[in-house]
Chains A and B, each alone.
Chain A
């Protein structure tokens, strides 16, 4: 490999990126927009929703439920009401996003049937907030009833799964595991990088074929490795820029606590960027049209990274075969690493498994990609 040729290749590629402000804008702005949109959708949930609770029963069980609401991060200033009149009042004044009513016979119904009704009234003026609030309320109830259920089942000598649940089902659209947004935002960064990274390089080789410049290029002594590195290096810089932006947004905009090592974060991010760019490059080599390569890149990265990376859908709750498939999804390792570095301040040693998996992935992709490109028109 000649450093001179590699530099010529990379410099040419950078000039071309620079001359194409449209794609450059996409490469730099897309991740920002996605970060704001995806991140914001999730961060809305953390902003405490004002909620009132009308506990008609005032039993031990119902108080436990109320306590759950009070302790939850998702609701602020949870007020406990004591009359129907108070309920109407707060709703009319708009003091609360909603009122959850625990009926007088809540415990009785629950202990006899294994299922208890909880009523909720929400102010639907701000439907978005409402949806989120309902989701959270459901989540709180679900978490509580899981406890109830367990105790009830034990008392009745039943296995927990066989008992009914409270009417409320834990269904929050983008946060199914009811994790805090702190948990999700790092995953968003991984998903964005995976999507954008593969897109960036998926165009590089196919563009030369489409414009007819490839024939001239491969008539020169440039090597396949120099072509690959020359193409990837400029996008690596763009990818890192995107990564830095997203990570900074996670910390300073979405206030995800950062407790780990910056060096570890930087190294694993670089490793992940190599993987995603390598995958895009590989597709670009194999599929000689820009449109085809970028479409395939999108399809190949979108579903696995959103569904199987564990960024919203917890991997340990997936059926075994799908869990096995998710081992192939490189984004899951980066999601794991980001979460651990951000929230737990984990060290490289703690994360040896996912780091090795990512490194192995990077090696394999680079190895395959370096061999994929043939200097031939055959």
Chain B
């Protein structure tokens, strides 16, 4: 995140329409060189569509974007030469071995011959695939596949990496290993935009872009996002029948929102007075009130609230 380097990724009013449907709607995004930005949003939010436009795979319907200094609409080939991409769906050749896949992408990216073998060795070591170099990729487990795909995507040492849900369906241990790799690459100056569904992974990012229904809802570091004003105070309610309590609290005046987190409830209330009335209110509704305590919002609380607020606004605006 050096101050005067030009940003690695810039999007201005980036829009993608599929027929009448707008999948990405006027997205503005700036990613500094060397940043790790997490792309978070519910299913269908437009994460993959945005990444595909940034890779030059989809043509923007409106707006513009540049990656590594090249315009994605006008210089897609220059963009492609400077990026590494892992698509959401695994897309190495399953009927080729690990080494053959690496050789193939090395050739396609024209990795200089003198460094080719060394880079392949590096990628194999990085993926932890020593001893499995000559196995068919289709026989590998998920974590290995994903690390190999990352290895293929960085063979040409691209300055910018787009990773679309690289850890989905991968077991937790392998997910951690993958994030270690991401941070190693970022430490080497690579700019990385990585989409994910896992909230814990959001914490590993320098900044997070929260996207919903094609719009950027919030952008900031995990700390900044946690500090956002949610419009009330957050309490955790434990030791209750979560379902019944949830139904009751949703009808209580002064409660902005209630959501189940594991066996507890997170309740956002307008003020402290509402929190005090909560116990008696639940009793009147024949729900045993549990232990209530104020908590600091987690990233997930923030995301849930921001997304809910956005759709409330939309409904309010539409009515």
Contact = CB atoms under 8 A, between A and B. Distances in A.
Partners in one complex: yes
Interface in B77-102: 77, 80-81, 83, 85-87, 89-96, 100
Contact of A4 (B58, B92, B107, B149): B107
B309 interface: no
Contacts of A216: 85-87, 91-92, 149, 152
Contacts of B77: 221, 223
A218 B107 contact: no
A257 to B, nearest CB: 45
Contacts of B81: 221
A143 to B, nearest CB: 57
A216 B55 CA distance: 10
A332 B256 CA distance: 78
A219 B96 contact: no
Contacts of B58: 376-378
A16 interface: yes
Interface of A: 2, 4-5, 7-9, 11-12, 15-16, 19-20, 211-223, 375-378
A337 B255 CA distance: 87
**The 6 residue pairs across chains A and B that have the minimum distance between CB atoms:** A8-B107, A216-B91, A219-B85, A215-B87, A19-B95, A212-B89
Contact of A213 (B92, B103, B108, B109): B92
Contacts of B108: 5, 8-9, 217, 220-222
Nearest to B111: A4
Given A219-B55, A223-B77, 7 more contacts: A16-B96, A20-B95, A212-B91, A213-B92, A220-B105, A221-B108, A221-B110
Nearest to A10: B107
Q: Is the interface of A mostly helix, strand, loop or mixed?
A: helix
A195 B283 CA distance: 80
B59 interface: yes
Given A221-B81, A378-B58, A12 B100 contact: yes
Of B85, B93, B96, B152, the most chain A CB neighbours within 10 A belong to B93
A313 to B, nearest CB: 43
A212 B90 contact: yes
Interface string B225-239: 000000000000000
B100 A219 contact: no
Contacts of B260: none
A204 to B, nearest CB: 13
Nearest to A20: B95
A19 B96 contact: yes
Interface residues of B, number: 34
A39 to B, nearest CB: 34
A217 B105 CA distance: 9
A262 B211 CA distance: 66
Of A4, A11, A223, the most chain B CB neighbours within 10 A belong to A4
Nearest to A8: B107
B100 A213 contact: no
Given A12-B100, A211-B94, A220 B89 contact: no
Nearest to A216: B91
A213 B93 contact: yes
B82 to A, nearest CB: 9
B160 to A, nearest CB: 12
Contact of A7 (B52, B55, B57, B107): B107
Interface in B28-78: 52, 55-59, 76-77
B188 to A, nearest CB: 21
A220 to B, nearest CB: 5
B198 interface: no
A16 B138 CA distance: 13
B138 to A, nearest CB: 10
B104 interface: yes
29 contacts: A8-B103, A8-B104, A8-B108, A9-B107, A9-B108, A12-B93, A12-B96, A15-B95, A15-B96, A16-B93, A19-B95, A211-B91, A212-B89, A213-B91, A213-B93, A214-B91, A216-B149, A217-B108, A219-B55, A219-B56, A219-B57, A220-B108, A220-B109, A221-B108, A221-B110, A223-B77, A376-B57, A376-B59, A378-B58
A20 B94 CA distance: 12
A2 to B, nearest CB: 6
A219 B89 contact: no
Of B85, B89, B91, the most chain A CB neighbours within 10 A belong to B91
Contact of A220 (B80, B93, B149): B80
Contacts of B87: 212, 215-216, 219
A376 B96 CA distance: 24
Of A5, A219, A222, the most chain B CB neighbours within 10 A belong to A219
A219 B92 contact: no
Contacts of A223: 77
A378 B80 contact: no
A21 to B, nearest CB: 11
B59 A215 contact: no
Of B57, B58, B92, B103, the most chain A CB neighbours within 10 A belong to B57
A219 B54 CA distance: 10
A369 B58 CA distance: 21
A4 B95 contact: no
Contacts of A211: 91, 94
Interface in B162-216: none
A300 B160 CA distance: 45
Contacts of B105: 220
B213 to A, nearest CB: 21
Contacts of B136: 19
Given A12-B100, A16-B95, A220-B105, A215 B110 contact: no
Nearest to B96: A15
Contacts of A222: 108
Contacts of B56: 219
